[in-house]
Amino acid sequence: MRTVRVLVVDDSAVVRQVLTGLLQESPGVEVIGAVADPLLAMDRMKQQWPDVIVLDVEMPRMDGITFLRKLMAERPTPVVVCSTLTEKGARTTVEAMAAGAVAVVAKPRLGLKQFLLDSGGELAATVRAAARARPCRVAAAVPAAKLNADAVLPPTGARAMGQTTERVVAVGTSTGGTQALEAVLTRLPRVSPGLVIVQHMPEHFTAAFAARLDGLCEIEVKEARHHDRVLPGRALIAPGGKHTVLKRSGAQYMVDVIAGPPVNRHRPSVDVLFRSMARAAGGNALGIVMTGMGDDGAAGLLEMRQAGARTLAQDEASCVVYGMPKEAVRRGAVERSLPLESLAAEIVRWGGP
């Protein structure tokens, strides 16, 4: 029997360790690597291609479903998805199978290590069976028409009202943004200008993300709700599945959380937030585009700059993916590019008296 070469991709060190031990003990199975995310997996696969990949879904720099789709479009390989998100009937299970997964194994959120130990034989059998599969190439889905912010908000018309003492910061980020935002927000003192943040993230994830940051930061961090005030010392995270826009009432700012089609294939969209900042805040706003793939935010940041706002980008050296900032710089939307560790100080400096 030919030895089945397995690559484990999971951001949990405990899961990687336990899965590696269990699979190595199984006859005819060899674990050729255990890595924390798909980007590291791609590097490892350049050295030796696995027969089967055991893949998590929730990972920091690229989610497992995105990696699975990329893999099946380019070089079909048997994949066993093993995730806490894949309860029977869950949307993630359907997405994983549609993307080309050979099998899906649900991990419990509690008692994970014991579950893996108890299920080791079954999992190894699933891996050996997967090695015999011959997955077909799954063409990448034809993307829907790429809409711009016009689909949600009309182009900026009249300029925003004049300067007030209330200042507001808009931040947009995607791939690599969860760690980058933590690095910025944990450096902010309690007396900081109010922030509204778009992090490309699926529905139901943003509330937990905001709660985690709230526990780490001096400022308050919460998932935005309709009509939430933008206040000094508060950061509002745009909820997944909706767009978040800034509104102004007198000298006060608040957010509306609204429905609408994906813009730049994202909902929430950075462009939608930035356009609303240009309309409602003008020169009272600071716009920052951070690490991420694609170009969401570039057009909106240019609108902010043209409306009198200050604009910054995270520099290339500190980005996980220098996509969104690069496009914003290319379009002339960025006044200055700064390293990640300097952004918090710049926010405080800009928001000071």
Q: Give the catalytic positions in this structure.
A: 174, 200, 296
How far, in Å, CA of 145 to CA of 308, rounded? Answer: 31
Angle formed at CA 51 by CA 48 and CA 54, multiple of 5 degrees: 100
Q: Using an 8 Å Cβ cutoff, are 293 and 324 in contact?
A: yes
Distance between CA 59 and CA 38 in Å, rounded? 8
Helix ranges restricted to H, the chain: 13-25, 38-47, 64-74, 91-99, 112-118, 120-131, 177-185, 206-216, 270-280, 298-306, 324-330, 340-351
Alpha-carbon distance 276 to 245, whole Å?
5
What is the C-alpha separation between 125 and 4, in angstroms, rounded? 11
Query: DSSP string of 166-228?
Result: --EEEEEE-TTHHHHHHHHHTT--SS--EEEEEE---TTTHHHHHHHHHHH-SSEEEE--TT-
Pairing of strands 52-55, 103-106: unpaired
Residue 159: how many other CB atoms lie within 10 Å: 13
- Report the 10 Å Cβ neighbour count for 228: 19
